[in-house]
Amino acid sequence: MHINKWIRNLIIGENQFISSYGDYKRAMLSGKIAVMAIFLCLFYFTVDLIFNYTHVILLYPVGILFLALTIYLHRKGLHYIASTVLLPTINIIVYLFASSDSPHGGTYIFFVSNAVAAFAVFGYNERLQSILFSVGTYALFVLAYFIDFSLLPKRDFGQDLLLFNVIINFSFALLATVMSVYLLITLNHYNAMQLVERNYQLKKTNTELDRFVYSTSHDLRAPLTSLMGLINITQESNDKTEVSRYLHMMKDRVHSLDKFIKDITDYSRNNRLEITHEKVKLIDLAQEVWESLKFTPEAQPISFEVNIDDTVVVDSDKNRLKVIMSNLISNAIRYHDDRKPDQFIRLEVEVRDRNFYLKVEDNGQGIASEYQNRVFDMFYRANEKSKGSGLGLYIVKEALAKLSGTIHLESAPGIGTTFTVKLPNR
């Protein structure tokens, strides 16, 4: 794992980020081929020094310089230009040595691996470039193998050294070819999985849309119809006490409508907005959430306990984290048990390894076991008397899916409920 990270940092830089999976894999393959070519140049530079082939050793530093340039371009984020420099550089080096060496040395094998690499490191949009490069590669092979012309002095190797060259060249060329083909297979598999996932998401969206339209029309019309009825009654009443009671009931319906619209907004934002990462001080976020909820009538008798160390800071999506925390706490408020003298909501956080755990505990009404598997479904209400939208816990589940988090529920009727959220601390 550490080696992979080191290679990644070497090729594209520690602080560089490539958003596209395909572009990242292509850049990494291009960089790995450049590193392999540099290593091979250094290896043959040493061999030629040992066997006193000093008339060609100046070519190696020039080749290494151009190969190192491609690594530099990758680290600068210029991945397309890096690959455009890399492949011709390798082709020219291979041609120079293939035209001056014995054909039995196997140098021309690199033409094959280089042509395959062209289709791997360039995407579909650059396929014409890959084809033209392959045609050029074939032309260089013909020039090197069938035409008796060389820019470098001819080198005569013994049989043992020729066999050694064949083994080394074939091994490196095979490795580069396998890496290129493996990348093509990986990208094909990735795209297939993306298609499966998108089909699943499309079916899920269509199903949710049907339910959303039906439930939204009902949940929006119900409080509005009730509100219109209360307005009519209020207009006909001259009793100030009754008018005050009706106004209070109107206010309650408006709050329900406002909460429902807020839930719809949170649901839409979670699906639409990109994931962001920032440092979040959890105790401040918890207090901010409670400040927005504590003045609701249902929250008045509830004691809010925050057991979070003042130094705990996590790296996460603050907006989604706030939505998760807000929905869990408001859910605990909504289903509190007013028969209990000491009602509480307790919030705890624990950071372990590369994750953090957010626990929201209450001593409210609790959830019966037969309902616990369904409370995260869209528009599901375990309690018929619930004033909630039925979206709160569903939004929590969807936000956690975006953040690669999980949630665990423990509850018993009459005792209370505990939600434990696990999230990565990046």
The total of structural domains in the chain comes to 2
Spatial contact of 151 and 90, defined as CB atoms under 8 Å apart: no
Please check whether residues 54 and 148 belong to one and the same domain: yes
Token readout for 238 is 């001259």
| Res 364 pLDDT > 70 | yes
Please check whether residues 79 and 183 belong to one and the same domain: yes
Spatial contact of 402 and 270, defined as CB atoms under 8 Å apart: yes
Please check whether residues 191 and 279 belong to one and the same domain: no
Please check whether residues 107 and 21 belong to one and the same domain: yes
Q: What is the pLDDT of residues 248-277, one digit of tens each?
A: 888 777 776 776 677 667 766 666 678 888
Residue 230 maps to a domain: no
Please check whether residues 185 and 297 belong to one and the same domain: no
Please check whether residues 185 and 286 belong to one and the same domain: no
Q: Tell me the C-alpha distance between 7 and 31, whole Å.
A: 9
Please check whether residues 30 and 144 belong to one and the same domain: yes
Neighbours of 422 (CB within 10 A): 16
Neighbours of 32 (CB within 10 A): 17
At residue 181 the predicted structure's pLDDT band, cuts being 50, 70 and 90, is very high
- Given 170, 199, 228, which residue is the final one in a domain? 199
Residue 236 maps to a domain: no
| Res 247 pLDDT > 70 | yes
pLDDT of residue 356: 93
- Domain carrying residue 42: 2-199
- The CATH number for 352's domain is 3.30.565.10
Residues 6+ positions from 62 with CB-CB distance below 8 Å? none
Most confident of 186-190, 370-374, 383-387: 186-190
pLDDT of residue 319: 87
Q: Tell me the C-alpha distance between 374 and 161, whole Å.
A: 72
Range with lowest mean pLDDT among 43-57, 81-95, 298-312, 360-374: 43-57
Please check whether residues 194 and 66 belong to one and the same domain: yes
Please check whether residues 193 and 300 belong to one and the same domain: no
pLDDT of residue 355: 92
Please check whether residues 23 and 154 belong to one and the same domain: yes
Token readout for 230 is 């209360």
The secondary structure of the chain in percent helix, strand, coil, rounded to multiples of 5, reads: 65, 10, 25
- Given 175, 199, 223, which residue is the final one in a domain? 199
Residue 137 maps to a domain: yes
pLDDT of residue 203: 85
Query: What are the phi and psi torsion angles at 423 (to 5°)?
Result: -135, 145
Q: Tell me the C-alpha distance between 111 and 91, whole Å.
A: 7
Please check whether residues 189 and 333 belong to one and the same domain: no
pLDDT of residue 244: 84
| Res 190 pLDDT > 80 | yes
Token readout for 270 is 């979670």
Neighbours of 188 (CB within 10 A): 10
What percent of the chain stands above pLDDT 70?
A: 90
Q: Tell me the C-alpha distance between 419 and 410, whole Å.
A: 7
Token readout for 224 is 């509005």
Residue 232 maps to a domain: no
Spatial contact of 380 and 374, defined as CB atoms under 8 Å apart: yes
Q: Tell me the C-alpha distance between 380 and 135, whole Å.
A: 62
Please check whether residues 195 and 284 belong to one and the same domain: no
For the chain, give the mean pLDDT: 85
Q: What is the pLDDT of residues 381-402, one digit of tens each?
A: 665 555 556 677 888 898 898 8
Residue 368 Cα to chain centre, angstroms: 36
pLDDT of residue 259: 67
At residue 325 the predicted structure's pLDDT band, cuts being 50, 70 and 90, is very high
Q: Tell me the C-alpha distance between 203 and 214, whole Å.
A: 17
Residue 250 maps to a domain: no
At residue 30 the predicted structure's pLDDT band, cuts being 50, 70 and 90, is very high
- Given 171, 199, 227, which residue is the final one in a domain? 199
Residue 54 maps to a domain: yes
Spatial contact of 133 and 103, defined as CB atoms under 8 Å apart: no
Long-range contacts of 156-163 (CB under 8 A, 24+ apart): 156/102, 157/101, 157/102, 157/105, 161/51, 162/102, 162/104, 162/105
Residue 226 maps to a domain: no
Q: Tell me the C-alpha distance between 390 and 260, whole Å.
A: 9
Residue 242 maps to a domain: no
User: Any idea what DSSP says for residue 350?
Assistant: E
